[in-house]
Structure 1
Amino acid sequence: MFLKNTGLSPYVWVVFYILPFYFIFKSQSPYQTAIGISMIVVFFVCYVLSFISRGWLVYFWTTIQIAISLGMSLLYGYIYFSLFLAFFIGNLKNKVAFITLYTIHLISTLFTINYGFITKNPVFITQLPFVFLSLIAVILLPVSTYNKNKEDKLQGQLEDANKRIEELAKLEERQRIARDLHDTLGQKLSLIGLKSDLARRLIAKDPSQAQLELRDVQQTARIALKEVRELVTEMRGTKLEDEIFRIEQILQVAQINFKLIGDSHLFNTSLIAENVVSMCIKEAVNNVVKHSNATTCTITIEQLETELFVKVADNGIGIKDLGTIRGNGLQGMKERLEFVNGSLDIQSEDGTTIIIKVPNIFKQIDQEVGV
């Protein structure tokens, strides 16, 4: 329980289990000793119950612990129960309950410390450094624990969202493959079936025409096989490094100077986002070759911690009216980037500049065990 909820080893907490008895047995009155032992037992029973309870009972047991901690501090000078409460209050998920109990606990701790110094309690005076450290812990530990739990929760939600995105990406890819297979093979297989049936009926009547139909069937089958191979190649995905190499060859054939700024080997970008960026860069370069009349094309790749920034710039004729852009594959680029939460921006000054931004999604490695 303590490993899960406080993040501290039980062996460390054993020290705090023993210390209250030391303070109590210093009392000369058996009556006070009995009261102290009873308060310790009740405190730890309430402490366990506060972890396993739900709803309003959690706050009820915590309130009793605060009262016992206050009593132990005033009667015996034992302030260290406040550390137990500091850790526990930080584990509360309800923000209103956390703020309320944190405020009550902080005020009660400040009151007992001030009361101890005003009454010149020798226990407080002799333990001044430890009392000061306990006060710091009461102030900081609940806040740090609460923020850590909140961060862990957000991290869990982020991981769930990433898994959902991966599932949607797989679903979208399956649908795309189904559409491509239907468009690629459906029509051609229907054509092959019709021509084969026609050739079968013409074999006896017109053998030469049947032979021509069979040749058409053979040619259609070859085209279908070629398209299937191209489709399989696209399914394997495109690495940016490979796409940059092919782009350089295309620009060289088109007699356009090519310049690469940055590293094409991506580190934090997911495979699906890299594939989308590669296709968009390919489309942008095709537009440069076909429409820009440029002599130079520059690709800039900047990898930030939170996003990938790619810029494709040329020194061509530019685009006269950016508001009327419809063709040249730009709409398809925008739709692909929207799928990975990316964006596309177009500038036309001394040529055309295509700016692509894609967020990076990566997992943090927890440095410590969450509570």
Structure 2
Amino acid sequence: MKFLKKYILFPKRFGIFPYIWMIWIIYPITDLWPFNRVDTIIPTILLICFLWFYRNGYSVSKALPIWIYGQYGIIFVLTITNEWIYLLLFSAWEISSLPVSKRTFHQFLAGYYMTLVVCMGLLMALDEMTPWSFTNQMSIVMVLFLILSPLGGKSVANSYRRSQQLRQQNSRYANLIKRGERERIARDLHDTLGQSFSMITIKSELAAKLLDKNPDQVKNELKEISEASRQNLQLVRNIVTGLRQTSIAEIMIELADELKLQQISLMTDGEGQTNKWPHDIQNILADILREAITNVMRYSRADQVEVHFTQTKAAYHLMVADNGKGYKAVRKDAMALKEWQNAPKLSVENLAFKPADLGQSSMCNYQRRDDSHGNQNYFS
């Protein structure tokens, strides 16, 4: 396996593009077939050498100029013997995908165009053709493809490299977020449970000392220890409940991946402001979003879904719309209504569905009551 990775397979960082261009090898192989002729020996050996130079060019070592310019030389010879000028496409996409400096790329590019001009001139001289007749024979598309391939390949390689760097950066951010969450949990545990357990330890030691001297005082100490233990237990439950809450950002990442697999495009509006919304509101909205988007993927036959977040002084609003087949009416005993009716702080009279403006899409309205503060938060 190490031999394959080191000498045969292309480096993973270049993706599948080097393998895709190997399809072009079919053309010279068909020209050489069958291999029982004497005149195919030298082209076959040169073709194998070219593929070896092509593979080693992706290793990006100090010998890189040898592998690149060596390809140009082999192509020049094969153009004379077999008119395989199209092998330059291998070199064109290779030099455009290599992570080299601009100066090095421009040097390889200059060598490429010099080889292309020389090979085209050589073919015209051998076949006694004018530039116009040569272009007609090779087709204008092929000529333009040979000319523009290094530049187009460079654009594709830069786009692929940027997307790869973006994925790596997102992974780093995710690790930082996890680290920050761990530090927050450790800080909360230290500031709350740590002090409480220290107090329990001190009172336990005091109770042991007072056991013989003042038994009545021991009862009071044990009572306080028992009360502190109950408070700590409730505190642990609150911390665990807080950890189980899902933010809107987290659920949107999850849903975006699921929608992408279903080939449904997702558009959001006002998502950035939800980071400042209270955690309990985000947790309820996350559950609603999960159910709503799941229904879109299962039943709507849509290829586009929009999620809008808005906020007023008295309410938080959520709107989910898709361009699916829609509906004319909703049964009062619908399963979604029954499920959300039993949700905490949500009641059926505060939940409604109706057609929206985007095709035959759907929109959901939610209302949440916060009885402890005497006000209302509406989700719509």
* 5+ long unaligned stretches in structure 1: 26-32, 242-262, 270-275, 286-304, 316-371
Structure 2: gaps spanning 5 or more residues = 1-7, 11-15, 258-271, 282-303, 315-380
Contact kept in structure 2, 1:50 and 1:62, CA below 8 Å: yes
Sort the Cα spacing of 1:131 and 1:185 in 2 relative to 1 into closer, same or farther, 3 A: same
Q: CA deviation at 1:188?
A: 1.6
Aligned residue in 2 for 1:177: 185
Q: Render the CA deviation track for 1:186-242: whole Å, top value 9, x for unaligned.
A: 22222222323333444454444333332222222211111111111111233449x
Note if 1:196 corresponds to 2:204. yes
* Alignment of 1:223 onto 2:223: no
Q: Aligned residue for 1:234?
A: 242
> 1:199-210, aligned counterparts within 5 Å?
199-210=207-218
Give the partner amino acid of 2:86. Y
Name the structure 2 match of 1:282: 278
Residue type of the alignment partner of 2:20: L
Using the size of structure 1 for normalisation, the TM-score is 0.54
Q: What amino acid maps onto 2:52 in structure 1?
A: V
Distance 1:43 1:172, change over 3 A: same
**Is residue 48 from structure 1 mapped to residue 52 from structure 2 by the alignment?**
yes
On the 8 A contact 1:90/1:145 being kept in 2, the answer is: yes
User: 8 Å contact 1:20–1:78 — kept in the other structure?
Assistant: no
Partner-residue secondary structure (3-state), 2:277:
helix
Among candidates 63, 68, 89, match of residue 57 of structure 1: 63
Q: Does 1:87 align with 2:103?
A: no
Structure 1 residue 86, shift from structure 2 partner? 2.4
* Distance (Å, rounded) in 2 between the aligned partners of 1:278 and 1:155: 26
Alignment of 1:120-159 (within 5 A): 121=128, 125=133, 128-159=136-167
CA distance in 1, matches of 2:83, 2:311: 71
The residue that corresponds to 2:111 in the other structure is 104
Alignment of 1:243-258 (within 5 A): none
| 1:69 corresponds to | 75
Quick check: 1:46–1:65 contact (8 Å CA) kept in 2?
yes
Residues 21 and 37 in structure 1, CA contact (< 8 A), matched pair in contact too: no
Q: For residues 134 and 96 of structure 1, do their structure 2 counterparts lie closer, same or farther at Cα, with a shift above 3 Å needed?
A: farther
The residue aligned with 2:194 is 186
Does the aligned pair in 2 maintain the 1:69–1:82 contact within 8 Å? Answer: yes
Cα offset, 1:268, TM superposition: 3.8
After superposition, the Cα gap between the structure-2 partners of 1:2 and 1:16, relative to the gap in structure 1 and judged at 3 Å, is farther
Contact 1:50 1:57 survives alignment (8 Å): no
Provide the rounded CA distance (Å) in 2 between the counterparts of 1:13 and 1:174. Answer: 53
Give 2:20's aligned residue: 8
In structure 1, C-alpha distance between the alignment counterparts of 2:18 and 2:90, rounded to whole Å: 9
Query: Partners in 2 of 1:168 and 1:194 — Cα distance?
Result: 37
Give 1:93 deviation, angstroms.
2.4
- SS, match of residue 19 in structure 2: coil
Residues 152-172 of structure 1: per-residue CA shift (max 9 Å, x gap): 333333333333333333332
Check 1:17–1:103 CA distance in 2 against 1; reply closer, same or farther (3 A cut). farther
Cα deviation for residue 99 of structure 1 reads: 2.4
Q: Where in structure 2 are the equivalents of 1:163-174 lying within 5 Å?
A: 163-174=171-182
Q: What letter corresponds to residue 69 of structure 1 in structure 2?
A: I
> Partner amino acid for 2:66?
F
Q: How many residues align?
A: 259
1:15 corresponds to which letter in structure 2? Y
User: Partner amino acid for 1:62?
Assistant: I
Shift of 1:9: 6.7
Q: Please report the TM-score for the alignment, with normalisation by the length of structure 2.
A: 0.53
For 2:197 and 2:67, the matched residues in 1 are separated by 74
CA separation of 1:101 and 1:43: change in aligned 2, threshold 3 A: farther
Contact 1:70 1:112 in 2 (8 A): yes
State the AA in 1 paired with 2:116: T
Report if aligned partners of 2:54, 2:71 keep a CA contact under 8 Å in 1: no
Matches within 5 A, 1:263-282: 267-268=255-256, 280-282=276-278
Give me the whole-angstrom Cα distance separating, in 2, the residues matched to 1:212 and 1:96: 82
CA distance in 1, matches of 2:124, 2:64: 32
Report Cα offsets for 1:73-100 as digits up to 9, x if no partner.
Answer: 5677553333333233334321333322
Q: CA RMSD in A?
A: 4.6
Distance 1:239 1:172, change over 3 A: closer
* Contact 1:82 1:134 (C-alpha < 8 Å) held by counterparts: no
State the one-letter code of the partner of 2:313: D
